[in-house]
């Protein structure tokens, strides 16, 4: 059991991580942080993601939040989140959503939509605070 959160080093990823930590504390359960790097993104992207995840791991340790960090390579972001949620018996999946143009608001991002429809548990979507 746990809270699965999709993480990117973006304001949306930060909002998702913060919400996941809040939910984990409320439910007394660990957080499973999932970051995905596609093979076509190159070694620089993987290195950046590893560094960001190391910072997240230090932060969660410092906060005393039970956690696991997973860096998954080569797969599909939505599949990675859904599979992880199934593997850990997740209580909740948390996703950060970015603001979209008026036209983009009509259509949710493909990855977010797949997670919403196919996750084995409830999905919480969050967005960063307005600037």
What DSSP assignment string belongs to 20-73?
Answer: HHHHHHHHT--EEEEEEE-GGGHHHHHHHHHHHHHHHHHHHHHHT--EEEEEEE
- How many CA atoms does the CB half-sphere of 97 hold within 13 Å? 20
In CATH, the number for domain 3-126 is 3.40.50.620
**Can you tell me the mean pLDDT for 107-126?**
86
Task: State yes or no: pLDDT of 28 exceeds 90.
Answer: yes
pLDDT at 34: 96
Domain ranges of the chain: 3-126
pLDDT tens digits, one per residue of 49-89: 999 999 999 999 999 999 999 999 877 889 999 999 999 99
pLDDT at 106: 44
**Can you tell me the mean pLDDT for 11-31?**
96
Task: State yes or no: pLDDT of 22 exceeds 90.
Answer: yes
Residue 23 pLDDT level (bands cut at 50, 70, 90): very high
pLDDT tens digits, one per residue of 2-16: 999 999 999 999 999
- Helix (H) or strand (E) holding 6, with range, is strand 3-6
| Strands of 3-6's sheet in order across | 67-73, 31-37, 3-6, 92-96, 123-126
Task: State yes or no: pLDDT of 105 exceeds 50.
Answer: no
**Can you tell me the mean pLDDT for 19-38?**
95
């Amino acid at each position: 059991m746990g809270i699965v959160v999709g993480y990117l080093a973006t304001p949306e990823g930060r909002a998702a991580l913060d919400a996941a930590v809040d939910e984990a504390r409320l439910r007394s359960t660990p957080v499973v942080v999932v970051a995905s790097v596609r093979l076509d993104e190159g070694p620089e992207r993987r290195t950046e993601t590893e560094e960001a995840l190391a910072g997240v791991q230090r932060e969660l340790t410092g906060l005393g939040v039970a956690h696991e960090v997973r860096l998954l390579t080569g797969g599909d972001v939505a599949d990675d989140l859904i599979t992880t949620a199934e593997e850990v018996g997740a209580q909740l999946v948390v996703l950060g959503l970015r603001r979209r143009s008026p036209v983009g608001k009509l259509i949710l991002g493909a990855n977010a939509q797949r997670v919403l429809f196919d996750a084995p548990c409830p999905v919480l979507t969050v967005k960063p605070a307005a600037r």
